[in-house]
Structure 1
C-alpha cells in the first residue's frame, strides 16, 4: 500500500473522496458531521466536529496522516502536530480548487489514475449542466444565504456553481472573500436593492426557514419573495468543498433554476 495507511478525516470531503476512489480502508476516523457516504458513519469512529476534536481519541487511532480544512481547524492541526502527527490542511475555495484537491488527495494515496478519472467525470458533469443552462430564457439573479443571524452570503465555489447552473450570484464581490466574517451582510436590505429572482438557503446544519426570510422588513418587495422562489439546499451537498457540491449540489441548483425558467416562460 502506497502512502498513508491510517488516515483521520476532520471534515467530510476527504472521506467522500477516499470512498469514491475505493481507498476507504485507509480511513480510521471521521468527522461527526459526515453524512456522505452514509456507510462511513456506520464503519468509522467519529472523532471531531468542525471547530473541535477529540485529540486523545485521535491519538489512540495512531494516525499517520490527518486531513482538515481551512484556518478554522488551525488549532486542532497545531495540537496534533505538537503530538508528532502529520497534518494536511487544505484551503481550496473554488470549483477548480475542489477538482485539484481530489487529484492531490488521490496522488497522496497512490491512486492518481482513479482520482484523475473521477475529477474528469465531475468536470464533464459540470460542463453538461452549463450547456443545458444556455437554453434558459434568461439568467435569474440568485441570493445564496449560508447563515441567517447574521446573514452570510455564499462562498466562492457556491457562486461558481450557481453560475454554472444558469444563475448569477448577486454578491460576486463577497463570494471572492474566503472568510465567513468577510461575507456578513452589514445591511441586509442590500438584498432588497439587488432584487434576486431566486433565494437559496443553506444554513450550515440547521433547517432553512423560508417564512422567516420572507418576513424580514422590506423583503416582500424582492421578486423571489413575491413569487415564492425561496428554496433550501441541504448543507451537506453544497457547503462542503468536495465531490457532493460538484454533483448533487449543483444538480439541485440547476433543477430549481430550470423550474424557475419554465414558470417564467409559461
Structure 2
C-alpha cells in the first residue's frame, strides 16, 4: 500500500494517513487487545484505564482516561498519528474534538461480520494485513463450529444492577446470544433497557445470564433474581466472551460452547 492513503471507517468517515502510523492511541479495550495481537506493541502509545489485556503490556502504556472521558491534554502530549475508537463505547463530543486534530478511525459493531471487517480494516490501517487475515480466518472457523442450543430458551442477559439493565437488540451481545441459540426476551427493546423487577417477572425468562462486566455480578446476586423468577436458571458468565469484538473472539467459541453445554445439561 502506498501512502498517503485514504481510509473509510465503519461510520463512513474518511481519514487520510500520510504514512504508516507509528503513534497509535486506542480508546476501546477489545480493540487495544487486537492491536497488541497484531504485533503493534511498539507503536501503541496510549490507551484507556479499561484496557486490561494483555495484562503486563498495557501497564507500560500511557493512560488517556476512560472510554467516555478522554484527557485531551494527555493525548496532545502523545501526539498520535492514529486514534482508534468505537461508536458505542466512546462519546460523540469527545470524538468530534479529537477528529479536529488527529486521524480518528471509528468502528461500529453489531455482528460477528462487522467484527471481522473491523479486524481486517485495522490490519490495512496499520500494515498488518497478513496477521489480521490469520485472526479473522481463525475466528470465522471457530464460530463455524459452534453448535447452538437446540431448543428455544427465553433468556435475559444483565449488565448492570441498581438499576437492573439488560441487553436489548441492536448490539453485539444480542448477536452473540442469537449465535448461542438463546432467545433474548428483551430483544423488542433497543440497546440496554432499564428493567424493573415487575417487568422481569412478567417476561418470565427460563435462563438469566449475569455478566461479569461492566457490573461485576457474582453468585451472591443469585438470590435476588431467584426471588423474582423462581423457575429460572441463573448463571454468571464471562462478559468479555459475549461483548469483546476484537481478537478475544478467537477464544469465545470454546467458552460459549461450554455455556451452551451447561445450560443443556441443567435443562435435562
TM-score by length of 1: 0.81
Per-residue CA deviation, residues 210-236 of structure 1 (Å, 9 max, x unaligned), is 554542596144x22xxxx32222334
How far apart, CA to CA, are the structure 2 residues paired with 1:80 and 1:234?
A: 32
Matches within 5 A, 1:77-156: 77-82=95-100, 84-129=101-146, 132-133=147-148, 136=150, 138-154=151-167, 156=171
Shift, 1:67, TM fit: 1.1
Q: Does 1:162 align with 2:171?
A: no
Note closer, same or farther for the CA distance 1:54–1:254 as it changes in structure 2 (3 Å cut).
Answer: same
Q: Does 1:255 align with 2:258?
A: yes
Question: Which SS does the other structure have where 1:85 is aligned?
Answer: coil
How far apart, CA to CA, are the structure 1 residues paired with 2:123 and 2:92?
A: 23
Q: Does 1:23 align with 2:23?
A: no
Contiguous gaps of at least 5 residues in structure 2: 2-18
Residue of 184, 189, 204 corresponding to 2:194: 184
Note closer, same or farther for the CA distance 1:220–1:198 as it changes in structure 2 (3 Å cut).
Answer: closer
Aligned residues: 248
Note closer, same or farther for the CA distance 1:33–1:206 as it changes in structure 2 (3 Å cut).
Answer: same
Higher normalized helix content (fraction of residues) = 1
Contiguous gaps of at least 5 residues in structure 1: none
Shift, 1:139, TM fit: 3.7
Q: What does residue 195 of structure 1 align with?
A: 204
Note closer, same or farther for the CA distance 1:206–1:184 as it changes in structure 2 (3 Å cut).
Answer: closer
- Stretches (4+) displaced over 6 A: none
How far apart, CA to CA, are the structure 1 residues paired with 2:246 and 2:194?
A: 23
How far apart, CA to CA, are the structure 2 residues paired with 1:57 and 1:206?
A: 28
Shift, 1:18, TM fit: 1.5
Q: What does residue 232 of structure 1 align with?
A: 236
On the 8 A contact 1:93/1:241 being kept in 2, the answer is: no
How far apart, CA to CA, are the structure 2 residues paired with 1:149 and 1:31?
A: 25
On the 8 A contact 2:176/2:242 being kept in 1, the answer is: no
Shift, 1:98, TM fit: 1.2
Note closer, same or farther for the CA distance 1:124–1:13 as it changes in structure 2 (3 Å cut).
Answer: same
How far apart, CA to CA, are the structure 2 residues paired with 1:196 and 1:243?
A: 31
Shift, 1:166, TM fit: 3.1
Question: Which SS does the other structure have where 1:192 is aligned?
Answer: helix
